[in-house]
Every structure is written in structure tokens, then in C-alpha cells.
A and B are shown apart, each in its own frame.
Chain A
């Protein structure tokens, strides 16, 4: 049996879809203790009892339609016009734009692909060093993961059954802290002669930019104004984006809309089957009291909450570098949640620690996904990107320490408005 499970790990390395590997693990595990296969499916049917799930395809679609449209260029134009005069203006804008874009599209490396080609030439022509610019874009490719309505944040809510409005609030301060650190560094590294003044833009161009601005208001205002739950806010933003991008700005042709709808469902399907498969494995692990036994084992050696958090961070950084964020969430969260509860760690705080780690894992050598994507996108050897993203990695790790050891960063806003 253990040999079989070992084989499965090998299978994952061949590029077998992870939902296949996880399902196989569930099937083998239940079979090995003599439980009927159909239990795996029974667990999957529980997905239809999760109302929050609906927000995933809707936000995926919103993000996808936005990236199909001219929205990235417009956000860039708008922020250059208003913030371009700041020291390190362009670099700071890069960070903000990447963060917003990632929050809406989920951290699937799309930011690097959609914005990298736009931002890198702009940074270079403004006199920023090549290495700095590449590092900036690579590490900001997953920035914004902590801001609503990021998909990993919602998925953590689904798995841990935490309140999503609390999670959205919890991510704000840690996310802003991370952004502030990187901004300060960007200002420090900005070229001496200063950025070129932005080219003048016409009023008409600017007016086109105004249409996307209400989106955060719809989502945050709707949820915290008590009008909408998360999945409803997702539906309203989806409808709003259709109306704006297809019918008002006409960035996306009507004939193109079914393609985008369909591709969103494909992307969602990939996440859903992983979630489905992991419901079964999780049930098995909890049935076998694995988290409890792990906790007993750990407590034997680690009594301090702080030591546990340190080990957790190291472990999660490795996970984040190896696994993609969605599989990492569905596989690890159910295991860690009960253990963290044993060490008296708030589940919302745990979620923020989790996502911060996974985000940093994206740009951690040797196998962080962002590094590969950037290496591919900018046509540069991967080693060069390791070096380029190193200072950014250091800053992100510093924020991780703060986020981990100051829980109020995550919990303060909840106590204020929650």
C-alpha cells in the first residue's frame, strides 16, 4: 500500500493532473481500510452544500473578462496620470497595478503574462535597472493575493469554513504592509534623474478609465454595507463587467463573450475537481485521526506557539515553492487547521499566514512558479531571475515575520468592523 502511495508521488511529478493523483490517493486509502469506493463520491456531493463555491466561477469570469479587455492598460494609464510624479512613481505604480490585477484574477501567474510585457519596457525606458525591473515584476506577480476578492482567499474560506467577509478584512493590513515595504524599496532604487513626466492624455481616454473604478466599491461596499453576501457581490461584478466591457466600452466583442465564459468554467473546473478529490482524502485523514496524532507528536517536542509558527512558516514556504496555490490550500489546510487550533492560533490569522507563505513561495528558488513564468516571458535564464528577485524576497520574508508574530495585523480590522 505504501509503495502504491509512493508511486503516486512519482506520478504527480510526471505532470499527471493533481486531481487524478489526489483521487487515486483517496481511492487507495479507503480501499486499504475496507471501505466502499462510493464514499469518495459521497464526500464530493457535499460540494453542492457550499454556497460560497458560487463566488469562485463568478470572480474567475470577472477577472478573465477584465484581462481580455483593455482594463490593464487603462489602470496603468490612470495611475500614471495621477501618481506618475511621485519619486519612484512608475515602480510604485507597477506594484499597485499588479496588486489590483492579481486580486481580481487570482494568483495564477496571469499578472506576469498580462502586465509583464507592458511594464518591463516602461520601467527600462524610464531608466530603471534591468535586474531591478525584472525582480519587481516577478515578485509582484502574486502581490495582491491578500486583497479581496482574491480566489485563494475565498478558497481558504470554503475549506476552513471561516467567514469570508472576515477573511477579506483580515487580508487588508498585511497586504498593505507588504505593499508599503516594496514601495519604499522601489522609491529607494528609483533612477536619480527622476521619472519622465507622463505623456499628456486626453480627457476622453481618462473617461474610459472611470468605468472600472466602481468595481471595488461594488464588492467591498456591497459586502460590508450588508447588502450582498460574497457570492452575490461576485454575480453583480460579473454582470457589471459584461455590461461595461462588452456593451459600453466595446473592448470585447459580443461574439467573443461565450469563449470567455467557457474558458472561465474550464479554469473553475480545474479547481473544483481538486477540491472535490481532496474532500475525500481529508475525510479519510480526519477519520484516521491523523491531525490529532500529528498534534500529539508535535506537542511532545514543541510546546511554544512561536516555535510552532516558525516551523509552520518554513514548511509552508517549501510547500508554496513546490505546489500550486490551489492544491496546496486544499491539501494542507485541513491538516494544519486542527493542529493550529491546538496551539491557540486564530483560524483567520492562520489563513493570512498561509496565503502569505504561498505567495512568497511563488518566487522562492529553485522552483517557484513566478520565476519560471518570468524567465519564459522575458526570455532570460532562470538564474538571472533568482538573483533579480532576491532583494524582494528578503523584504517579503520580513513582512512574513511581522504578519506571523503580530496577529493583530490580521485581526484588528475584524475587531473594529467584523
Chain B
């Protein structure tokens, strides 16, 4: 039961990211099409795209935590024997958890001042709503780092470079 809920959540997350990117591709192409053939365009597309990039990127970064795809110096993984690597990873993930928690706090501070002094509405929403991505994504990353640190899978074989482009096992 629990695993099926988790797998539904995972598919939702993947679907959300895929849809975001597809929307970005289609909206940009629509804009080009309108400009080249009708000499017009929709003024909301460009600013919306700029925000979608940030939303997509940050939630992509959340998933990157679970998939262990964040860019890091992996020299020690190549050089050290496996039994040390488990401990290194624990340290790495706990610090990820901690720093992302502080970043969540910083985002909340930022959001608070945006709500008070922020500029006007943007695309039907108040400007702070578009900045919600920061607290949401950092909180999610912090949680994911914690889960990854606690998960027994961390103790497994080292992630190979070949998995660069693959889904997690």
C-alpha cells in the first residue's frame, strides 16, 4: 500500500516535470510561430517562460537529490574503498539536509518581506506567489537529503557514471 502511494507520488512528480518542459517547448514555439507568420505575439508568454524555467529547474533539483544526480566532486568515490564511501555519503547528505533547511528559512524570510513590500501582481498572481518555489523546493530538498541519508540504499554499490542518463533502479 505504502509503496503504491509512493510510486504514484513519484510518477506525479515526473509527470509534472515532463509537462513543464513540454509546455516550455510548445509555448516558445507558439510565440515564434505567431511572430514569423502573423507578426504578433502574446505578451505574457516570455515572462511566464522565465518563471517556468526557475520552477522547473528547482523541482528538477529536488528530484536530482533522490536520483543522486547533483553535481559533486566524485574523485573520492573513484579513489577510496567502498566501506569509507558509505560514511562519506552520510556526511554529504546530512550536510545537504542542514544547508537546505537554512535556505528554506532564508526563503521564508525573503517571502515575508516580499509579502509586505513586494511589487504588484504578475500574471494574475501576487509577485510573492512566484517566489514560493524557493521555500517549497529547498524544504523538499532538505527532506529528500534526510531520507537519502537514512535510506539503506545509500549503503549500496557506488553510483556509476553510466547511470548519468538512466532512471534510478
Contacts and interface: CB of A to CB of B under 8 A. Distances in A.
Nearest to A373: B161
A288 to B, nearest CB: 19
Given A19-B71, A38-B110, A110-B165, A266 B50 contact: no
B59 A269 contact: yes
B51 A16 contact: no
A67 B165 contact: yes
A235 B36 CA distance: 14
A269 B24 CA distance: 15
B125 interface: no
A64 interface: yes
Contacts of B17: 261-262, 265-266
Contacts of A53: 50, 53-54
Nearest to A19: B70
Nearest to B88: A14
A49 to B, nearest CB: 7
A41 B95 CA distance: 19
Contact of A20 (B54, B63, B95): B95
B51 A48 contact: yes
B114 to A, nearest CB: 9
Interface string A165-199: 00000000000000000000000000000000000
A273 interface: yes
A373 B56 CA distance: 29
Interface string A357-370: 00000000001000
Contacts of B67: 266
B58 A20 contact: no
A376 B76 contact: no
A113 B161 CA distance: 9
Interface in B42-89: 46, 49-51, 53-54, 56-65, 67, 69-78, 88-89
Given A44-B134, A48-B54, A268-B57, A36 B70 contact: no
B151 interface: no
Contact of A228 (B32, B74, B95, B103): B32
A104 to B, nearest CB: 14
Contact of A110 (B54, B88, B164): B164
B121 interface: no
A342 interface: no
B44 to A, nearest CB: 14
Contacts of A272: 53-54, 57-58, 60-61
A15 B74 contact: yes
Which of A68, A227, A262, A326 neighbours the largest number of chain B CB atoms within 10 Å of its CB? A262
A326 B57 CA distance: 15
A40 B131 CA distance: 13
Contact of A324 (B25, B71, B100, B134): B71
Q: B-side binding surface: helix, strand, loop or mixed?
A: helix
B76 to A, nearest CB: 6
Contacts of A27: 99, 102-103, 106
A373 B31 CA distance: 41
A367 B96 contact: no
Nearest to B47: A48
Interface residues of B, number: 67
A113 B164 contact: yes
Interface stretch (A54-62, A80-88, A300-308, A388-396): A54-62
Given A270-B70, A373-B161, A265 B56 contact: yes
Given A17-B72, A267-B60, A327-B71, A38 B96 contact: no
B39 interface: no
Contact of A268 (B29, B60, B91): B60
Nearest to B109: A38
Most buried by A among B58, B61, B105: B61
B22 A38 contact: no
A23 interface: yes
A24 B99 contact: yes
Interface in A1-23: 11-20, 23
A24 B95 contact: yes
Contact of B72 (A18, A54, A261): A18
Contact of B161 (A13, A61, A109, A270): A109
7 contacts: A11-B91, A16-B95, A38-B110, A44-B134, A57-B21, A236-B28, A265-B60
Given A67-B165, A261-B21, A262-B63, 7 more contacts: A38-B110, A53-B53, A54-B53, A68-B165, A259-B18, A269-B56, A269-B60
Interface of A: 11-20, 23-24, 27, 36-38, 40-42, 44-45, 47-51, 53-54, 56-58, 61, 64, 67-68, 108-110, 113, 227-228, 231-232, 234-236, 238-239, 242, 257-259, 261-274, 276, 322-324, 326-327, 367, 372-373, 376-377
